[in-house]
Amino acid sequence: MRKIREVLRLRLECRLSLEQIGLALGLSKGVVAKYVKAAAAAQLDWPAVQGLAERGLEERLFPPAAKVRFSDFTPPDYAWIHQELKRKGVTLQLLWEEYRAQCPGRPYLYTAFTQRYRTWAQTLKRSMRQVHRAGEKLFIDYAGQTTPVIDGDTGQIHQAQLFVATMGASNYTYAEATWGQKSEDWLGAQARALTFLGGVPAMLVPDNPRALIADPDRYEPGLGRAYQEFAAHYGVAVLPARVRHPQDKAKVEVAVQIAERWILARLRHRQFFSLTSLNGAIGELLADFNHRPFKKLSGCRASAFAALDRPMLRPLPARPFELARWKKARVSIDYHVEIERHYYSVPFQLVGKQVEVRLTAAVIECFLKGERVASHPRSTAQGRHSTVTEHMPKSHRAHLEWSPGRLLNWGASIGPATAGLVKHLLESRPHPEMGYRACLGLMRLGRTYGNDRLEAACARAMAVRAPTYRSVASILKAALDRLPLPTPAVHTELRLPEHDNVRGPKYYH
């Protein structure tokens, strides 16, 4: 206070300027001005300052501010503020302005308003501290707890898995049981969850299961091919949680825990003999779960979903998602790929190359570098072939166009010897198809040497008991068909001489 008193003396008695006082006392011009202004506000001159002790001078220059009682202010509805913040574009600044405009009493200033809201928000669950925008994220996961389902025919017990999905803003929850956690289980359950919600959120936040995530990288996770198709079909972004970071999906972690307590725990004394009956029971408890009132917020999950999330969801696509599996296969030398022990054709030019195969319930599609090269109806016949004619080489197509009846008719048009040889070629094999190539060879010989010489060569081959394609080709090459046919040998009956020791057939009657 001694320096303040000196400032006032130099100003009020000596009439020095503010800058001169600051230089004399080592103070800034602004500080000097503050003290002088405080003395003027207290209506003090130099004689009055001299008559005051240091404590009295301090009280006159800096009187204590009037204490404000917080009971004089009108507190806002913190639960309403918390829910409104989940709407897109809503900020604390906007809510404070609305609160101040509608406040019937004395409103808090902005700083006190935000501090008191954040203090109130700390009393909620930790997972509620994250601000989830309406319609933005759907968190999905499987529960660790399973439910036994008894096979009514064998008595075998299967453990059903519990799938859980919850919206970020409203906590609106969907749950169902599946047989496992394969790709078809994950995708099918997510598709039914979106149908249950009646719309599509902006993002899906799953865990990092191998069934969905091909490359669980921490920074750039790679989705599986089927999950990419799922996301593209619904027009939704996928943001997988980081590996070993459950806080990234804390919302669904809490939902899973609550579902285990409020759904599975209530079903622990019941027996189920089918997945359908189990899901029926889960559906009944799920409706009660979503309509349970919040403890610290107004309303329930269902009402919060109707007010917050539902208006922000995009519409579902016109057609449902068709579940597909992808696998890689190498094209065999017979231009077919093996899928579940059935063989599907692809263009013969792809022999030896690796293709991607897309499997749905009804169709098999083969892709090479993203381009579809073949499509077949899916077949369950093992060991059989599904072949498209356009996939075959020209030589194989010509072979496919022939049949035993057509080959026999061709042979008859050449002559009886050719017809007999063709019939022998078809009937002497275990399967007629094995003789097709030899018959096609005879046709080539007919085009080369003429039908008359072919008929003569076939007649000679039949006469010498060599009814093969090679024999006919050799006969024509050596021009043996121009020679007369060999005369068949005359066989005389061999009779035994009469003798007493020779018994005839009558002996055995």
- 313: its two tokens: 């969801």
pLDDT given at position 333? 83
Q: Is residue 236 part of a domain?
A: yes
Q: Is residue 504 part of a domain?
A: no
DSSP 238-265: E-PPPTT-GGGGHHHHHHHHHHIIIIIG
Residue span of the structural domain in which 103 resides? 70-123
Q: What is the mean pLDDT of residues 97-102?
A: 85
Q: Is residue 38 part of a domain?
A: yes
The predicted-structure confidence for 405-434, as pLDDT tens digits, reads as follows 888 999 999 999 999 999 998 888 766 666
Residue 151 near residue 274 (C-beta atoms within 8 A): no
- 269: its two tokens: 């004394």
The predicted-structure confidence for 427-467, as pLDDT tens digits, reads as follows 887 666 667 778 888 999 999 999 999 999 999 999 998 99
Residues 346 and 236 placed together within one structural domain of the fold: no
The continuous run of DSSP H or E covering 415 comes out as none
Mean per-residue pLDDT of the chain: 83
DSSP 430-499: SSGGGGHHHHHHHHHHHHHH-HHHHHHHHHHHHHTT--SHHHHHHHHHTTGGGSPPPPPPPPPPP-PPP-
In the Cβ-directed half-sphere of 73, how many Cα atoms lie within 13 Å?
15
Whole-number Å distance between alpha carbons of 147 and 162: 8
pLDDT given at position 59? 78
Band of pLDDT at residue 94, cut at 50, 70 and 90:
confident
Q: What percent of the chain has pLDDT over 70?
A: 86
pLDDT given at position 127? 43
Q: What is the dihedral of CA 426, 428, 430, 436, to 10 degrees?
A: -30
pLDDT given at position 69? 53
Residue 129 has pLDDT above 50, yes or no: no
Residues 159 and 263 placed together within one structural domain of the fold: yes
Band of pLDDT at residue 76, cut at 50, 70 and 90:
confident
Residues 287 and 142 placed together within one structural domain of the fold: yes
Q: Is residue 92 part of a domain?
A: yes
Residue 386 near residue 376 (C-beta atoms within 8 A): yes
Residues 106 and 151 placed together within one structural domain of the fold: no
Whole-number Å distance between alpha carbons of 57 and 47: 12
CATH classification of the domain holding 225? 3.30.420.10
Q: What is the mean pLDDT of residues 67-95?
A: 75
**Other CB atoms within 10 A of residue 286 CB:** 20
Split into its structural domains, the chain has a count of 5
pLDDT given at position 67? 52
In the Cβ-directed half-sphere of 46, how many Cα atoms lie within 13 Å?
10
Residues 21 and 155 placed together within one structural domain of the fold: no
Residue 505 has pLDDT above 70, yes or no: no
**Other CB atoms within 10 A of residue 369 CB:** 8
Burial (CB < 10 A; 0-12, 13-18, 19+), residue 16, is: middle
Residue 349 has pLDDT above 50, yes or no: yes
Whole-number Å distance between alpha carbons of 108 and 368: 66
Residue 74 near residue 106 (C-beta atoms within 8 A): yes
Q: Is residue 488 part of a domain?
A: no
Q: What is the mean pLDDT of residues 234-254?
A: 69
Whole-number Å distance between alpha carbons of 145 and 363: 36
The continuous run of DSSP H or E covering 198 comes out as none
The predicted-structure confidence for 33-47, as pLDDT tens digits, reads as follows 888 888 888 888 888
Band of pLDDT at residue 218, cut at 50, 70 and 90:
low
